[in-house]
Copies of this chain bind each other. A is one copy, B any other.
Amino acid sequence: MTEPSSTLLHYEDFPVGEVAEFGAYKVTREEILEFATEYDPLPFHTDEEAAFASMAGGLIASGWHVCSMQMRMIYDGLLYNAASMGSFGLESVSWKKPVRPGDVLSCRRTTLSKRVSKSKPAMGIIEVRWEIFNQDGELKSITEGSQLMVVRNPVQGAAQ
């Protein structure tokens, strides 16, 4: 008698120190322009001529767009199959290098630490680092933050 939900990844399935790599997100000029026009219309995200003349040296993706593409890779590579409870937030985001049209992004996820919630024994808090690279191995961004996962076998009174 296995419940369907038990096939999902839970808190217990993320050992500290584990490194996982996934994703191949092709960044297009059209998507950079579309995202930036809606949310971050600075010239170096929305205007190719202005971008060439700026210190960016050409069209670059909004940092928020980079985070959003990362989220999509995390979903497709992991969260579609996990008992996720969302996130409290981020410890840091560092945009190291511009993301440009033609980049093919991938994501490396490292599990840094984990603990069960004191107040909610069924919720696990996993601290993770995500690094984004392009097809040439160029590091584009580093993000650290929490991922909340359902604990498969919560122990009453044993949460720390």
User: Given that A67-B67, A68-B68 are contacting pairs, would A95 and B84 also be in contact in the complex, using a CB cutoff of 8 Å?
Assistant: no
The answer to whether the Cβ of A94 comes within 8 Å of any Cβ in the partner chain is yes
User: Given that A72-B39, A75-B42 are contacting pairs, would A89 and B85 also be in contact in the complex, using a CB cutoff of 8 Å?
Assistant: no
In contact, B39 and A68 (Cβ under 8 angstroms): yes
Taking beta carbons and an 8 Å cutoff, which residues of A are in contact with B?
35, 38-42, 44, 55-56, 62-64, 67-69, 71-72, 75, 79-80, 84-95, 141, 145
Interface centre among A35, A69, A89, A92 (most CB of B within 10 A): A89
- A54 nearest in chain B by CB position: B85
Within the complex, the shortest CB–CB distance from A51 to chain B, in Å, comes to 12
In contact, B64 and A64 (Cβ under 8 angstroms): yes
In contact, A69 and B145 (Cβ under 8 angstroms): no
- A39 nearest in chain B by CB position: B68
Which chain B positions have C-beta within 8 A of A84? 42
In contact, A72 and B42 (Cβ under 8 angstroms): no
Q: How far is the CA of A81 from the CA of B35 in the complex (A)?
A: 20
Within the complex, the shortest CB–CB distance from A84 to chain B, in Å, comes to 6
Contact of A64 among B38, B67, B95 (CB under 8 A): B67
In contact, B94 and A93 (Cβ under 8 angstroms): no
Q: How far is the CA of A134 from the CA of B96 in the complex (A)?
A: 32
In contact, B94 and A40 (Cβ under 8 angstroms): no
In contact, A63 and B89 (Cβ under 8 angstroms): yes
Contact of A72 among B40, B44, B71, B91 (CB under 8 A): B40
